[in-house]
Structure 1
Amino acid sequence: MADISFDPTFSHREFVDGPDGDRVRAAEPNGFNARFGAIEDDLRQMSTVVDRIRAAIAARGTGPVEHVLVLPPKLLVVPARTNWTTTASGAAQALDHGVDGMMEVALPDNVRLVSFRAMGQNPSGTAAPPDITLSRLSVPGGTPETLAEISGDTNPYDKTTVIDASVATTATATYRYLIRATVTFAPQPVTIAGFQIVYTSS
């Protein structure tokens, strides 16, 4: 709205009393007709400016709004698997065989998921990549449906994957949303620093 402005044209000049002062007149540049006409023009211009401001505010309120949800890796142990541990910095760390964990993600209803991001360290690179997925699971249960998948096969890794539009709209009455991270074998410490989900709302 920086280009919307109002420049008044009316500037009041004081009337002067006394024998040599101003006489009340309808015409002339200092007459009442000219003065009230200038005020009327300013009010008309102000009305136009107000309409433009209203339209600009309405335009800003339309369209999707992007949100970024940052999640710490609070991974719960999966039965019969090895759990992720937590480092002093709050990262999730794997240094064992069959490390597996998952966490539930509370997402708003009826928003559009845009992307999923995971970042961390993996000194072994492709030899021991963590497999990280964002999935949805039907309520009350069923087989998780993968929405996004990331392989942490670089060191460091910081990867983002776009979520397919056909499964991007959340429905919290129908689905639960989960993040799962698995490492088959970690000869050196593999860490997950955090997750990030971008979504838009109308």
Structure 2
Amino acid sequence: MADISYTPTFHHVRWEDRKNRVEAAGPNGFNVRFNAIASDLRQLSAVVTQVGEAIDSTNVPPPPQQQRLTFTPSLRNRIDSTRPWFYDANGVATAQLNPSPGVQAFGVSNLNLPDGYWLTALRVVGSINAISGAPLFGSVTLARTPIRLVVPPATPETLATATGIGGSTQGAFDLPVPTTATLIDTGVFRYLLTLGLTGLNGTMKVEAVQLTLTPPS
């Protein structure tokens, strides 16, 4: 905060009875004295304005701070899933495929998100490991769908997606998923996360999903 100060310029020189004559002009006249007082009042007004602005500046709320919501998704297996998602001894979401035509694992989790916040980023932490070099691909999709029932049912709107996890890259991953900033409106939409694994033989684990949220300003 800038220094704020006020230095008065008017100094009263006492009049003496039957010695000083009342006059308007001159160095000791009313005009000079009252003009000096008026000048001090203007300066004081400017200082009061500065004080008010300084107080107002301290009352400005801080900018909205991003918040991170980290969780292990609670998955239900989708109807087209031929292999289940389950949880290992450490509570990590896991899908395991073995050699068989058309094997795939798709799990869906409904998300309870704070209304009115902005969704700005998605991050997924886990691992994927193919066995004997068999093709194995994971996917993560964050979507929303209208609560209002329509016929036919509305197609979920994708908010963020990452496909082809794994492929030629195996092992642990910490994946930022490109996300378009989206206002969360729980009165109109429900939000869901889908994890998928397709291929022949191998395992995918998702230890944590992290959403970055910005509160309304």
Provide the residue aligned with 1:84 in structure 2. Answer: 85
RMSD: 2.7
Aligned equivalent of 1:139, options 141, 147, 160 = 147
Secondary structure of the residue aligned to 1:191 is strand
Residue of structure 2 aligned with 1:173, choices 179, 184, 187: 187
Following the alignment from structure 1 to structure 2, what is the Cα–Cα distance between the partners of residues 91 and 4?
55
Query: 2:105 is matched with which residue: 95, 99, 117?
Result: 99
Q: Which of 172, 194, 199 is 1:156 aligned to?
A: 172
Partner letter of residue 155 of structure 2?
T
Could you say which structure has the larger radius of gyration?
2
Structure 1 gaps of 5+ residues are: 6-43
Match of 2:75?
75
Give the structure 1 partner of residue 129 of structure 2. 123
* Match of residue 203 from structure 2: 189
Distance in 2, matches of 1:140 and 1:185, equals 35
> Is the contact made by 2:78 and 2:108 (CA closer than 8 Å) also made in structure 1?
yes
- What TM-score, normalized to structure 1? 0.67
Q: What residue in structure 1 maps to residue 64 of structure 2?
A: 64
Structure 1 ranges of 4+ moved more than 6 A: none
Contact 2:122 2:209 in 1 (8 A): yes
Contact 2:134-2:199 within 8 A present in 1 as well: no
Amino acid at match of 1:107: L
Report the CA distance between 1:110 and its aligned residue: 1.9
- Aligned partners of 1:58 and 1:116: how far apart in 2? 30
Separation of aligned partners in 2, 1:92 and 1:180: 12
Distance in 1, matches of 2:134 and 2:159, equals 23
Would you say the 8 A contact 1:85–1:94 is kept in 2? Answer: yes
Contact 1:95 1:185 in 2 (8 A): no
Q: 1:5-16 counterparts in 2 under 5 A? A: none
Question: Which position in structure 2 is the counterpart of 1:40?
Answer: none
Name the CA distance, whole Å, in 1 between partners of 2:194 and 2:206: 11
User: What percent of counterpart residues are identical?
Assistant: 25
Partners of 1:183 and 1:79 lie apart in 2 by 14
Match of 1:15 in 2: none
Distance in 2 (alpha carbons) for counterparts of 1:98 and 1:110: 36
- 1:138-172 CA-to-partner distances (Å, cap 9, x unmatched) read 1134211111012332421111123223xx11111
How does the TM-score come out when normalised to structure 2?
0.63
Deviation at 1:78, TM superposition (A): 1.2
